[in-house]
A and B are shown apart, each in its own frame.
Chain A
Amino acid sequence: MLFDAATTGKTARIEVRESQGRYRVIIGEKTLELDWVRTGENEASVLIDGVSHDAMVEKTPEGFAVLLRGDRFDVELKDAVKGEALGKVAHKGPLKLTAPMPGKIVKVLVKEGEAVEAGRGVLVMEAMKMENELKASKAGTVQEIKVKEGQAVEMGALLLIIS
């Protein structure tokens, strides 16, 4: 199987082949041999050339998060042939975006009725003297915008609904 993978500052074409219970992964010039044993619901023990990687993998709105040795890598994955995005937790029901901290709405980046992709920035909020872009964690249509630019909001306030 062929994938296109992307993470912060890096993209790669990845090929995965299976042979005798092992996985051969070709990333650019490199070939990695993965010995994979599932150790839990979303955990695996992965040996690569004798090096042990105790991994946790979860699906996120953008793709996958891989946890290795205290670090976290967010990986976006696409089927290289069909081009469709993989992973991505499907959000059940409408998404209610709420204020993660008290602050002020600086900018509304979408309109009601507009179609949005998962990961698209929908609002800019100022909190603790910093501007933060709030993103849609699922694709859908902006059903309702509950706030106006310049409005102060409390922590947990409902900002926007994506159906």
Chain B
Amino acid sequence: MPSPRKFKKILIANRGEIAVRVMRSCRELGIGTVGVYSEADRAALHVRYADEAYFIGPSPSRESYLKMDTILEVAKRSGADAIHPGYGFLSENAAFAAACKDAGVVFIGPPAEAITAMGEKTAARRVAVDAGVPVVPGALHPLVDNEAILAEAKRIGFPLMLKAAAGGGGKGLRLVHRAEDLEAAVLRARSEAKSAFNDDSLYIERAILKPRHIEIQVLADTHGNAVHLFERECSIQRRHQKIIEESPSPFVTPELRAKMGALAVALVKKVGYVNAGTLEFLVDENREPYFLEMNTRLQVEHPITEMVTGVDLVKMQIRIAEGEALPFTQNDLTQRGHAIECRVCAEDPEANFIPNPGRIESLRVPGGPGVRDDSGVYEGFEVPMFYDPLISKLVVHAENRVAAIARMLRAVSEYKITGIKTTLPFFDRALRHPKFIEGDFDTSFVGRLQGENDERARATEIAMAIAAVATYRARRRSKAAPEGARGAPSMWWRLGNREAVNRL
């Protein structure tokens, strides 16, 4: 049956779980999918899933997934009407959005001008200030002399943070609680910055203590309509990247939700934004939101919003790009129940979450009520070292937060991956932590999390016993192998013997 849609075929300029996620919505809409792949990804799930797939270059992303010309060439060759960029790679690249337009293929995302206006942090903050959206009070430019710093500090208020403009690694970073400590702190921060970076200019901004990282999802169409789809709580992070997200946020009150939603919609309308986007806010202890930045694309953690609102964000992105008006107004949208996402990454949670790529030897995926696994891998797949270590997003939905935590723990207990280390054991510990259960955590949660308890000590013993019995059984089996066969081992014997050593 020919598709009644405007788009007949969409090229997905991405890989892994998000490419598969986008293709799933395309398939439901009856739209053909075109995948692209690098050398390392020939056997990747998104290639297997796509209706068509084309090679775009060597494994490093700058030679493949970031090659605008090659991707546009594939779009032309395959006859794709539109390109969905996913997240990362070319998704927030204004030049790519413009190049798509020039090539006559629709970029599923905001117009190039909106990416430029909102994509750069300081520019976006200026736009926000113009739209009356609060930002973390601070100087938007580096300050070079003591007088200027002291004057700005009085304007901004305390506590405040001094940051080396050339910054990084925590050097020249200083938290100042009181006005009387400022002068000494400025001198120390400047000398530290000078010796570390040979540049003693400083940024200065209000310090947000115990910050919460909360973001608002928005959708805007080409007809001037814009809505928000409530918040996502993203405070649980490692290496400054999110790892557990939930919606609604246990910290957000109905008043704060309404306030942040209205600010987000106002900002979106002010810049003429179109398609899906996310506004990130820092929220302080007193529940004051400060606009941080805007992500002009689909977010990794979009499924939790889909679960609580019932809106398929990828389908909405496609329909908006086709020129349709939003099929609902703000009043039609509600949050139903509670959703949590855990990012299953090929990382070692026992060693600073260092990436741990390799072959997935065995994989058992959870199921049952309210469980969704947005995966980009399969059993036997070799997770390449070249890209993000995210292999799957485990998402649950339940009637309330308590039930959602229990459901996630249940799903994590069913999820088994061998061959590589993953973040799964970390979720088991994090979701049992009293602070998480109470909803009392901020962005430093992962750093403060500690493992061991009685229950785990008991399980450790059982694990040791199981490893010992597995070895005992393997040794018994290899002893049982026929002695005579050792002189001239037949292929069957060798196979049997290898199995005896490897299997349980």
Chain A residues with CB under 8 Å of chain B are: 1, 3, 5, 7-10, 12, 14, 16, 18, 23, 25, 27, 30, 32, 34, 36, 38, 40-44, 46, 48, 53, 55-59, 63-75, 77, 86-87, 98-101, 127-130, 132-133, 154-156
Contacts and interface: CB of A to CB of B under 8 A. Distances in A.
Contact of B463 (A68, A98, A129, A156): A68
Given A42-B504, A59-B502, A3 B466 contact: no
B392 interface: no
Contact of B385 (A9, A27, A30, A155): A155
A12 B458 CA distance: 13
B354 A100 contact: yes
B368 interface: no
B475 interface: yes
B385 A57 contact: no
Contacts of B476: 18
Interface of B: 59-60, 168-170, 239-240, 350-352, 354-357, 361-362, 364, 385-386, 409, 412-419, 421, 424-425, 427-429, 452, 456-457, 459-473, 475-476, 502-504
Nearest to A36: B469
Contact of B462 (A40, A64, A68): A68
A77 B264 CA distance: 56
A7 B463 contact: yes
A70 B461 contact: no
A75 B350 CA distance: 14
Nearest first, the 6 closest Cβ-Cβ pairs linking A and B are: A73-B463, A66-B463, A70-B412, A70-B413, A58-B418, A70-B428
28 contacts: A9-B452, A10-B457, A10-B464, A27-B465, A36-B469, A42-B418, A42-B504, A44-B504, A46-B469, A56-B364, A57-B504, A58-B361, A58-B362, A65-B418, A66-B464, A68-B463, A69-B413, A70-B413, A70-B414, A75-B467, A77-B468, A101-B354, A128-B240, A129-B170, A130-B239, A130-B352, A154-B60, A156-B59
Given A1-B472, A25-B468, A56 B416 contact: yes
Contact of A8 (B240, B350, B355, B471): B350
B418 A56 contact: yes
Given A38-B504, A70-B412, A129-B170, A44 B470 contact: yes
The dominant DSSP class at the A interface is: strand
A67 B459 contact: no
A36 B460 CA distance: 18
B460 A132 contact: no
B456 A71 contact: yes
A12 B464 contact: yes
Given A53-B462, A100-B354, A41 B362 contact: yes
B425 A70 contact: yes
A129 B173 CA distance: 14
Contacts of A63: 467
Contact of A5 (B409, B413, B464): B464
B359 to A, nearest CB: 11
Given A1-B472, A67-B418, A14 B460 contact: no
A3 B473 CA distance: 13
B459 A71 contact: yes
A32 B471 CA distance: 16
Contacts of B385: 98-100, 155-156
Contacts of B352: 130, 132
A89 to B, nearest CB: 9
Contacts of A27: 461, 464-465
B65 to A, nearest CB: 13
A113 B355 CA distance: 28
A25 to B, nearest CB: 4
Contact of B461 (A3, A8, A12, A23): A12
Contacts of B421: 65, 72
A9 B461 CA distance: 12
A70 B394 CA distance: 13
B362 A53 contact: no
Given A44-B470, A44-B504, A77-B471, 19 more contacts: A30-B461, A32-B461, A36-B469, A40-B504, A42-B361, A42-B502, A56-B362, A57-B470, A64-B467, A64-B470, A65-B421, A67-B418, A70-B409, A70-B414, A70-B428, A71-B459, A75-B467, A86-B471, A130-B239
B469 A7 contact: no
A3 B471 CA distance: 10
A155 B60 CA distance: 9
Contact of A100 (B355, B362, B412, B467): B355
Nearest to B432: A70
Contacts of B428: 69-71
